[in-house]
Structure 1
Amino acid sequence: MRLLSLSLVAFVWSMSTAAAENTFVVRPSFQDVPLTAFTRPRAVVRLIAEEKGRFNSVDVDVGDTIGEAQRFGCLDTVYVDLSIEANRARQKRLRRADLDYFTRQVKRFRNLVERSTTAQSSLDDLERQRVGTRAGLTEAEVEARKLKERKRRHCIEASKGWQVTERRVDPGQWVNAGDPLGRVADFSVLLAPFALSYPEYQVLIAYTGPLSVRLVDEGIDVEATPIHLNPDFDEATRKISVDLALDKGVPNKRGGLRVKLVLRLPDASGAVLVPVAAVQERYEQHWVTGTDKVERAVVYLGEIEQDGQRWARVVSPQLKAGDRVIVP
């Protein structure tokens, strides 16, 4: 009797195992969408002349890297140097001649007024002139700071490590304030601009781990970080602008490198995956059988290989991911 019970349990277990082995949970089907962009520098700055003058030197050319001096080139400073010298002479005159003189005169006339030997108006006039001289000295000091700043702006500066992408001036060339001189760019980090549809955008921001892209021309894969997620969209393309930052692993940081991004999206056709053996064909119609023993007509879209197995891509309004089908 006990042997019979054990045999019955073993039979039930084997049947349930077989049933489990003969059913399958329908899987969603995905399609890989390749997107391509070209690298560009993280930042680009236009260099503009802030003063007019003749270029005395241009220290870099296209392709050069800005060095420790952080200098693109310098204008001739002869006239601003002369203005600085004239300002120094004016300050010296105001401080050592006029201001000292009026200070001594005010002190002397104050004593005379106290002894009632001169009029109060004479003292007031000297005091007014001393105050005016002090104000003139302050104006000269402010003018000196302006001249110093103007001289500094005669040299066009750029950030250290940036590269020159455009040069529009040569030594000896005259420029006016506001004229464009060139461009410098920061290639320490590359940006790959993509235009994504909203479903593609949702898939991208859902990534939790490192995002991998392929540098097609270099033949290598590198990590990328999504930045500059534009909340607006381009009305012409009706896409969302997203920049991917490529920092590490890029051997040749420059613009124009092809970047391939592959996003795995749900199959647009609504297809799902079932084992090939679960699809039966009769009279040019394909069927799958659910666990309720009801056959469902499906549209057969072909086979794919995934995870080392063959799967059939099928579409049916009666079949969705998560349903269970029987594999004969």
Structure 2
Amino acid sequence: MLTGAAAARAIAAGTALPLAGGPVAFGGGEIVRRDGAGQGVREAASLTEIERHSADLLAGFLRPRAQWAGLDLGMPRIMGIVNVTPDSFSDGGDYADPAAAIARGVALAAAGADILDIGGESTRPGAAPVTVEEELNRVIPVIRALAERGHCVSVDTRHAAVMAAAVEAGARIINDVTALTGDPAAEAVAARSGAAIILMHMQGEPRTMQADPVYADATLDLIDYFAARIARLEALGVDRARVSLDPGIGFGKKDPHNLLILNELAAFHGFGCPLTLGVSRKSFIGRLSRGEAPKERLGGSVAIAALALDRGVQIVRVHDVAATFQARAMVLALAGAGA
């Protein structure tokens, strides 16, 4: 990946192309094919070879992203997390009271969050589900209050009834960890809502997803999964420009799976959809470091957010907005330096 003056020179010389219309450029890549066992065989490829292999795929990498949820994605956006739950892995109980959650959302917006993601059910590994009624009681007052203040609000839910009520209360985004497969009515509700949609990949379900997740090739398996989900939504009349893809780091994935996906994030741009990435405070950061507790994983969280921005990711979902805002400012400054 190239940024800044190097990207500008390479694009002018015809040796690189801009990624998703943003400040990052690429001068080549890899063509990945499955072998007989379904595993990926990766081969370095020039731009000419990639275009020869699939001009349509290359077009997805190049196409500037349209406005999404009313936001210009020419600049990467920060999604601030507001968990209105007693049991989320990082901040469970901190904002379980609606007044505290509203105040938290206002504070995150002031710190630089472009989107406020409101969740009323923990989906951490091993989490137990809550009733739809309880989830509604937790999130709807918070969503309504923040939307009335003019904030761009997302609802983090896998339940169709919560999606519908949240959009009615002012949410512009539906963020579903099950990619609209966890509730039989979710696809239709999301399609009719007109809201932007985040499809996240998760193998299994929260109570069991980390038991023993298995992939033939994590990146290729996710690409196949997203291709099927996008095709399904398009059949329901959803323009893919409404859809953002989240690879679901830590959701039914072991550390080698997480690392492969993070290293190959740019591969998901081929769909022509904006990308969302949530890695903030996740347990694999502690496992790869010194076993730090969730609130002590700021350094790793910001490092991966910066990596994501360098890979052209349009939306980073985080707890620590102010630190991520500062990191984004530095990434963008470096990307524009000397251009």
TM-score (norm 2): 0.20
Q: Which is strand-richer, 1 or 2?
A: 1
